Homo-oligomer: A and B are copies of this chain.
């Protein structure tokens, strides 16, 4: 049985709505996946994340590998039990984070622009790469300076210890500043590492019924993206992720996604597709139209912790920065008719401004709840629109701030 059951397709775009089956329940797609980088969706309890309607969160292999370690999480019953989350978990492979150390500011420029959010979105802090070899990557832990090694096999083993529902291949996340030649060689290595990931999983019988997603790399080069999509589609992976540099602006990002999903529509139309580290509102809408089934991104939760709410205001990138003096005495709620705890309690922008300015943790927390409510509602509207055959109309309304 395929992992993804597609229940509707939009006739005017490549969008699809479906149900992704995992060991820990179904994920309604298209889906946004909040980050639980180190085993916690920041500021929230798992009960709250579930109450917001999310079916899946993303754990980070790199960070959990270093602390508390895969063995410990396994001994304590796996990541679901460890963190108290009963629904699905997808785990990043650690490739992005470990290469962030080597590529310097890769996290800041991996998409050719602002920091994005794959994994923790911020690379690996104080750590440093000691060597990158065909075998794997040797590096210093940012926690205690100890020498550590990660490879396709280590990543697969750790993700099995975490008992992840969706395992990502260990890849090199090629940075935007890499030239075509480097990107081509890097993508080739990612494909060889993909084969090793699959070998490990074959030897360990696809641990725990988990799904395995291969990753398309190839930077901003159409031929590399297409050949990577072909390699990935022919690998037998149950799902496919799109990673690496997606370009320096949104038109280029959409083009890169388009190359990839167009090839996948031809070669692997039924397989689920995850877009790594993307989550701005307009990108989610466009990604859905281009045939993406799931997304993860730090943006909604990170913005919240920095005092910014997501609101239906496309002219301001859907953002309301509550630390601005304009909100000192603003009695309005964050949004009318919003079902989040802050808006339901009738809390004013003035109060949230106050919490942000005083550094009260409740501010970041209320905004996290609001932003994840906003994104959950967005994804539900997109999904329902596909099912109802009204995606064009709904996407236009969303883009107009309605």
Residues of A within 8 A of B (CB): 38-47, 63, 67-68, 72, 75-76, 81-84, 328-329, 331, 341, 345-348, 350-351, 354-355, 357-358, 360-366
Q: Is the CB of A360 within 8 A of B42?
A: yes
Cα distance A42–B359 in the bound complex, in angstroms: 10
Cα distance A395–B46 in the bound complex, in angstroms: 36
B residues in contact with A357, CB < 8 Å: 67
Q: Is the CB of B45 within 8 A of A346?
A: no
Query: Please, which residue of chain B has its CB at the minimum distance from the CB of A361?
Result: B43
Given A47-B345, A84-B347, A341-B47: A328 in contact with B362 (beta carbons within 8 A): no
- Give the 3 A-B residue pairs with the shortest CB-CB distance, closest first: A84-B345, A40-B362, A40-B360
B residues in contact with A361, CB < 8 Å: 42-43, 361, 364-365
With beta carbons under 8 angstroms apart, the residue of B81, B83, B329, B345 that contacts A72 is B329
Cα distance A285–B323 in the bound complex, in angstroms: 43
Q: Is the CB of A72 within 8 A of B360?
A: no
Q: Is the CB of A45 within 8 A of B82?
A: no
Cross-chain pairs A/B with CB under 8 angstroms, 5 sampled: A39-B358, A40-B355, A81-B346, A82-B354, A84-B351
Query: Please, which residue of chain B has its CB at the minimum distance from the CB of A45?
Result: B341
Cα distance A347–B81 in the bound complex, in angstroms: 8
User: What's the minimum C-beta distance from A58 to chain B, rounded to whole angstroms?
Assistant: 15
Cα distance A75–B84 in the bound complex, in angstroms: 43
Query: Please, which residue of chain B has its CB at the minimum distance from the CB of A38?
Result: B358
Q: Is the CB of B360 within 8 A of A76?
A: no
- Select the residue from A67, A348, A358, A364 with max chain B CB neighbours within 10 A: A358
User: What's the minimum C-beta distance from A107 to chain B, rounded to whole angstroms?
Assistant: 18
B residues in contact with A46, CB < 8 Å: 345
Query: Please, which residue of chain B has its CB at the minimum distance from the CB of A82?
Result: B351
Q: Is the CB of A43 within 8 A of B365?
A: yes
